[in-house]
Amino acid sequence: MKTKIMVIKYIKKFRDSVVSYLKDPLLLKKWDQPDYYGRQTKDNQLSIRILRNRRHGYHYYGTSSMFIEDMFTGIMPFMMYRGKREKYPTKTEPSSPEKEAVIAQGLSGRRHRGELAEGLCDFVRETAHVLFLDGVAIYEIIYKKNKDGEIENFSFELMEPFGLFRLFGSYYQFISWKDAKASHVKVQLIKIPKDKLLIINFPKQLGGKKEINKILKRSWKLGQEIIPKFQMEAMEKQKDVGFDPKKYAESRYLEIATITKKLGWNQRQLSNNHITEYYALLRLLRQKKAEALVREIIFKKLNEALNGPTLNFGTNVLMDNLFTVDDIEAKIKRLEQGSTTFIDLFTDTNL
């Protein structure tokens, strides 16, 4: 009797599996669980936020993580500090209090802050973080219109660059079987019109996405081992292979200094043991120039999106008194000529 019941259960299970497979032979819906994360899509959102082990796409660990943090943290002023709001006034041009309130809310995301300055600083800083991380920042523009057809509210939904490609003027997000399983969604191909995306690329003047990925990969590799494997093996065997830890550390420092030359990163030290004071100051100015380049491209692309066919606000967001690329180039020229002071070099560059 028990054997008969087991056979019936097995047959039923096999039949259900066959029926399930015939309904979805390509396993497109196998992992779709809409309520798994309490997932809710916003108004007219097309893209899907996927989960993936990002370590396969970038190297965010040790030396590379310090590099990223140092490059994006100081790119905008922190408005909670006294006097910052007055020193860096933010506005819309042409002025429009109504549009400014909507833009401030849109840039602030889920923090529900009403100040344009805070929302703008947060958006630029977070976008810069993504640029130094991935070399590109991609947002879907999510919006809601009132009965008169005007934008009532909007937000920028950050998308992962994985699986996004362009074809015939439109963009497509491909959710692969692997990503669908990890994110509990169905396998699919989603068309996203170009006008609905805000895409910001790492500046070409700094080498673009290819260069930033190269820097992250190599700095991560160099930061993995304080003592190289061959020396560890020699120490275990109590052998002297002539390893000099001081020279090894210096060679690592110099290689990272070489690959980050355009970006001016000083690896959190003044470099006095490796280069002269002049080149230490030059690197600091190069970092400020890189910050200005990244900030200016973010402002440019942001204003293009705010005035594009999707949002069409007809106004730009501006913040006064931020140092520009031209400002830093002028300081570099004065440094090269020897006609400046240390204080003059870094006046108004620490936001």
The predicted-structure confidence for 299-338, as pLDDT tens digits, reads as follows 999 999 999 999 999 999 999 999 999 999 999 999 999 8
Question: Taking a C-beta distance cutoff of 8 angstroms, is the pair 155, 140 a contact?
Answer: no
**pLDDT value of position 224:** 77
213-264 pLDDT per residue, tens: 999 988 888 877 778 788 787 888 888 888 888 888 888 888 999 999 999 9
**pLDDT value of position 310:** 94
Residue 129 lies in a domain: yes
Question: Taking a C-beta distance cutoff of 8 angstroms, is the pair 103, 76 a contact?
Answer: no
DSSP code per residue over 235-248: HHTT------HHHH
Give the chain's radius of gyration (CA, Å). Answer: 26
Calculate ∠ Cα 261-287-303, nearest 5°.
Answer: 120
Arithmetic mean of pLDDT, 181-194: 89
Residue 206 lies in a domain: yes
**pLDDT value of position 81:** 81
Total domains in the chain come to 1
**pLDDT value of position 55:** 47
For residue 94, is pLDDT > 80? Answer: yes
Give the residue numbers spanning the domain of 75: 31-351
Distance of CA 59 to the CA centre of its chain: 13
Residue 314 lies in a domain: yes
Average pLDDT, the chain: 85
Cα 120 to Cα 136: distance, rounded to the nearest angstrom: 19
Exposure string over 153-180, b if 16+ CB within 10 A, otherwise e: ebbbbbbbebbbeeeeeebebebeeebb
Residue 13 lies in a domain: no
Residue 26 lies in a domain: no
For residue 290, is pLDDT > 60? Answer: yes
Calculate ∠ Cα 160-164-165, nearest 5°.
Answer: 155
Residue 25 lies in a domain: no
Which token pair is 15? 């039949």
For residue 58, is pLDDT > 60? Answer: no
**pLDDT value of position 31:** 77
Cα 286 to Cα 275: distance, rounded to the nearest angstrom: 15
**pLDDT value of position 317:** 97
**Strand, coil or helix: 259:** helix
**pLDDT value of position 56:** 47
Residue 18 lies in a domain: no
Residue 324 lies in a domain: yes
